[in-house]
Amino acid sequence: MIDAQTALAQRMDARFGDQVNRVASTCRELTYELDKDDLIQVATALRNEADFGFEMLIDVCGVDYLNYGSDEWTTNSASGTGFSRGVEREPVILDEADEFDPRRFAVVYHLLSIQNNIRLRLRVHTGTANPPIVNSVVDIWNGANWFEREVFDLFGILFEGHPDLRRILTDYGFVGHPFRKDFPIMGNVEVSYDADQGRVVYKPVTIEPRTLVPRVIRDDNRYSADLKDVTTDG
C-alpha cells in the first residue's frame, strides 16, 4: 500500500507533467517548484480538482536566497577585534541593478487539503525582474490578501492582480524592505526627539554592528547525502 503523500506525488506528476518539479526533502514533505507563469493555472487546478482539493492556503512566505550557503567564519586576515568577525563593514548600497539573480527571490505557498488531509508546498522563483513580481493568488484563495501584502512589505515582491497592495507591518513612511538579506539587522535610520526643532527626527544609525555568534556551516557526516533518506522518487 502506498501512503497518501506518494499517491499525491503521482497524481501531481500525472496531471502537471513538466510544469512542476519535485524537490527532494528529508522531512517527508512534498515540495514542488514551478515557473511563475504557470502559477495561476496550477493553483486553480489544485484548488478545484477533486484529486487535489487544496481548499486552504495556509501561508505565503517570501524568501531571499542572496546569502544562501555562505558562512561568516572564513576570514582572510587575523582579526584583533573580537566581535568584528562576520560583520559587513561596507555600507549596503541598495540594489540598483537592472536584473536580479533569477534564483534570488522566491515565494513559498503552503497548501492544506482538509478533505484529503494532506499538505503541499509550492515554490515560485520571481526571475530576473526588478522589482520582482509574481501573479497574485488572491482570487483563488481570498485569505492570501494579507499574506501577500506582508511579502510585499518585507521583501518588495510585487503581486500582479492584488486588490490592495500596501505595506502592512512596517511603519507609515518606511523606506526599504527589511527582510531582504542586504538590509542590515539594525536598520538604516534611527529616531530621536530633537529639542531644538521640537519634533521627532530620523538620522542614520549610530549603533556599531557586531556579531556575537558567527554563522558557520560544518560538514557533518551524519547528515551526508548518502545517509539521507532523500525522497525523490515518490
Nearest distance from C-beta of residue 88 to other proteins, angstroms: 12
Site residues (CB under 8 A) for other proteins, limited to 136-175:
141-147, 150, 167-171
108: nearest Cα among 117, 120, 116, 99: 120
Nearest distance from C-beta of residue 67 to other proteins, angstroms: 8
Select 16 or 179, whichever has its Cβ closest to other proteins: 179
Please, which residues bridge with residue 190 across strands?
Answer: 203
Nearest distance from C-beta of residue 98 to other proteins, angstroms: 26
**Judged by CB under 8 A, does residue 220 bind other proteins?**
yes
Site residues (CB under 8 A) for other proteins, limited to 51-80:
55-59, 61, 63-64, 67-69, 71
Residue the block writes with cell 551524519: 222
Site residues (CB under 8 A) for other proteins, limited to 77-96:
none
Q: Which stretch binds other proteins (CB under 8 A): 27-35, 37-45, 88-96, 126-134?
A: 27-35
d(CA 57, CA 61): 11
Q: Which of 2, 4, 94, 114 binds other proteins (CB under 8 A)?
A: 114
Select 37 or 92, whichever has its Cβ closest to other proteins: 92
**b/e 15-53 (16+ beta carbons within 10 angstroms → b):** ebeebbebeebeeeebbbebebeebbebbebbbeeeebb
Nearest distance from C-beta of residue 170 to other proteins, angstroms: 6
Nearest distance from C-beta of residue 191 to other proteins, angstroms: 14
Please, which residues bridge with residue 63 across strands?
Answer: 106
Helices of type H across 27-73: 39-48
**Judged by CB under 8 A, does residue 189 bind other proteins?**
no
d(CA 87, CA 212): 10
Do strands 56-64 and 31-34 pair parallel, antiparallel, or not at all (unpaired)? unpaired
Cell triple for residue 118?
494532506
Nearest distance from C-beta of residue 220 to other proteins, angstroms: 6
Cell triple for residue 80?
584583533
d(CA 29, CA 5): 8
Footprint on this chain of other proteins (rule: CB under 8 A): 25-27, 29, 31, 55-59, 61, 63-64, 67-69, 71, 108, 110, 114, 117, 119, 121, 141-147, 150, 167-171, 178-179, 185, 211, 213, 215-218, 220, 223, 228
